[in-house]
Chains A and B, each alone.
Chain A
Amino acid sequence: MLTLQGVEAFYGSSQVLFGVDLQLEAGSVTTLLGRNGMGKTSVVRAIMGILPVHAGVIRFAGREIQLMPSYSIARLGIGMVPEGRQIFPNLTLRENLLAAAANYSGSSEPYDLDHVLTIFPKLGDRLSHFGNQLSGGEQQMLAVARALMINPRVLILDEATEGLAPLIRAEIWRGLNILKQKGQTILVIDKNLDVLLRIADHHHIIENGRVVWSGSSARLAADDALQERYLGV
């Protein structure tokens, strides 16, 4: 569904991605793992057209997207929950959700306001609050819910549970589980390996801008040396 082949990218004159190869199967939950500063967020930014791709190909639903503007990529059906939430503080929670509403996947049962509130019911009580009046957890739930409102074919979550209290984190994972059961294709970047081993189907480990390992949850769970070497676990 989404394939990266030999993707290279730079921040100014510094190369950050060195030929990244990665594949996402439809309906699967895939993770991108690695220590801080290894290039995980850069991969996401390259997929979304935010970080220019200097070499390599990114294919999504049969189209090369590496030269497309960000909004065209989103319209093809890639939704992102960015690192740091980035909700709109000057819009109410309801407006944050409605501003994004679209059906880019052409789903016959698209996510709408009511539907996403069933996944994150806590948001229902805060609809008229502005983005900057929400707690960190509520902002994170809103960020996931907002990404769902575009009805993406692929949902990308970049450090969606970072800095959250365990209870709120559990709420996010619960929401992701619901999405997985509905067949949503998801790419997750996170550090909670225990949960990811349970939720995800495939894993990619990135080290210094290169994917150095790919495999299933069972293989990753069984390889302590691999976890210690690349993930510091």
Chain B
Amino acid sequence: MNPALSLRKFVLGTGLVVLLLLPILATVAGDPYLITLFSRILIYALAAVSLDLIIGYGGMVSLGHAAFVGIGAYVVGILAFHMQDGSALASWPFELQSSNAVLVVWPAAILISASMAALIGAVSLRTRGMQFIMITLAFAQMLFYLAVSLEVYGGDDGISLWSRNELPLIDLGDDRAFYYICLICLLIFLYLSDRLVFSRFGRVVRGAKVNELRMQSLGFPTYRYKLVCFSIAGAGAGLAGVLMANQSEFVSPSLLHWTHSGELIVMVLLGGMGTLIGPVLGAAAMLLMEEVLSAYTEHWMVFLGPFLIFVVLFAKRGIYGWLSGTGVESE
């Protein structure tokens, strides 16, 4: 067997076993905080993987991805607010009551995030390069200030949730159960993303990344393909936002801020762009560094900077490329 391939399988297999056993290991070690920390890593990994779909495979460098994370989180927060308040979510043209059920709230949040991504993408994808970066940033900042201005929903202070969403038979209030839900969400999204990237749709998006005109000359309306890809990434980010809101039981405008988008980009770059697994490693590396280094100094980013430079200069395709010996795709 190809040594690089077997190393890759070893890395993936070991990582999966560790993630599956983590709640047990944390309980045995008497450190339940690890469950919370790794839940957070899984959620950020989900957001970073969704960003990798558009940056790594589609060449769409968005500086507004956190907006979709924030939208997903705010759907959870707003519905929770109305549940706590006892007020209707809408009273016209018909009365719409709020819900706290996972089966209602989560699909709604994902759908709204994907729809907003489609709307923003429809405009943004008419530009490219620096213009695309700036227009996605502008949309995200518009949504950030919209969230700040929503005084009924806490404005700058955000919304505190009384409890996590409710799922039949499973108590999401239990951190271990919630951890496994996060893991399942990430694995499903990774699987679907992998299928997508290597499907005909994915080939068109990947081809358009390097030569859009050529792909059009082969009969593909690349704008539509990229828009669908952008919307799927928005849906993934929305799901990450749903999980973030549930984990912290708090939603605030900072989730939509452009610096949050920047963090997601760093995770993708650190882990390995265009690899899907890389962003998971990038999210883990960044959050673990934050966790460890912030115990010593609040300026932990000072250490992240040189590490990022080292990875970009010496590790082809980020941490993933370094661990597996190669990348999955030759650029």
- Assess whether B207 is interfacial by the CB under 8 Å rule: yes
User: Which of A26-34, A53-61, A87-95, A191-199 contacts the other chain?
Assistant: A87-95
> Which one of A71, A75, A101 has the greatest number of beta carbons of chain B within 10 Å?
A71
Q: Which of B200, B204, B218 contacts A146 (CB 8 A)?
A: B218
Q: Which of A80-139 contact B (CB under 8 A)?
A: 80, 82, 86, 88-91, 95-96, 98-102, 104, 130, 132-133
Besides A70-B213, A86-B211, A90-B329, 18 new A-B residue pairs in contact (Cβ under 8 A), listed by A number: A74-B220, A75-B219, A79-B218, A82-B217, A88-B214, A89-B210, A89-B331, A90-B209, A90-B331, A91-B206, A91-B207, A95-B206, A96-B207, A98-B203, A99-B200, A99-B204, A101-B200, A132-B331
Q: Mark B219-241, 1 if CB is under 8 A from A, else 0.
A: 11110000000000000000000
A-B contact pairs, 13 of them (CB 8 A): A50-B217, A88-B206, A88-B210, A88-B214, A88-B215, A89-B330, A90-B207, A99-B200, A99-B204, A99-B218, A101-B200, A104-B219, A147-B218
Is the CB–CB distance between A74 and B216 below 8 Å?
A: yes
Q: Does A48 contact B (CB under 8 A)?
A: yes
Minimum Cβ distance to chain B for residue A100 (Å): 5
Interface flag for A183 (CB, 8 Å) = no
Q: Of A50, A71, A95, A104, which contacts B203 at CB under 8 A?
A: A95
Count of A residues near B, CB < 8 Å? 29
- Using known A-B contacts A89-B331, A130-B330, A150-B219, determine if residue A82 contacts B214 with beta carbons closer than 8 Å: yes
Closest approach, in angstroms, between the C-beta of A51 and any C-beta of chain B? Answer: 11
Q: Is the CB of A80 within 8 A of B217?
A: yes
Consensus secondary structure, chain A interface: mixed
Q: A14 CB to closest chain B CB, in angstroms?
A: 20
Q: What is the minimal beta-carbon distance from B297 to any residue of chain A, in angstroms?
A: 40
Report the nearest A residue to B208, measured CB to CB.
Answer: A88
Do B210 and A70 touch across chains, with their CB atoms under 8 A apart? no
Q: Could you say which residues of chain A place their CB within 8 Å of the CB of B203?
A: 91, 95, 98-99
The smallest beta-carbon distance between B173 and chain A, in angstroms, is: 45
Residues of chain B at interface, number, CB under 8 A:
21
Interface presence of A163 (CB below 8 A):
no
The A/B interface has a contact count, at CB < 8 Å, of 71
Interface of B is mostly: helix
How far apart are the CA atoms of A130 and B203 in the complex, in Å? 13
Given the complex, which residues of A lie within 8 Å of B207, measured CB to CB? 88, 90-91, 96, 99
Contact with A along B292-331 (1 / 0, CB 8 A): 0000000000000000000000000000000000000111
CA of A70 to CA of B217, assembled, Å: 5
Q: How far is the CA of A89 from the CA of B183 in the complex (A)?
A: 34
- In whole angstroms, how far apart are the Cα atoms of A88 and B331 in the complex? 10
Residues of B close to A147: CB separation below 8 A: 218
The answer to whether A74 and B210 touch (CB under 8 A), given A99-B203, A133-B330, is no
Give 10 closest A-B pairs by Cβ, nearest first.
Answer: A74-B219, A99-B203, A130-B330, A70-B216, A88-B207, A75-B219, A71-B216, A100-B218, A86-B214, A71-B221
* Cβ-based interface call for A69 (8 A): yes
Once the chains are docked, how many angstroms separate the CA of A100 from the CA of B209? 15
A70 to B329, CA, bound (A): 28
B221 / chain A contacts, CB cutoff of 8 Å: 69, 71
Measured in the bound complex, the distance between the Cα atoms of B331 and A150 in whole Å is: 25
Q: Choose from A69, A104, A130 the contact partner of B216 (Cβ within 8 Å).
A: A69
CB nearest neighbor in A for B274: A90
For B217, what are the chain A residues with a Cβ–Cβ distance below 8 Å?
48, 50, 70-71, 74, 80, 82
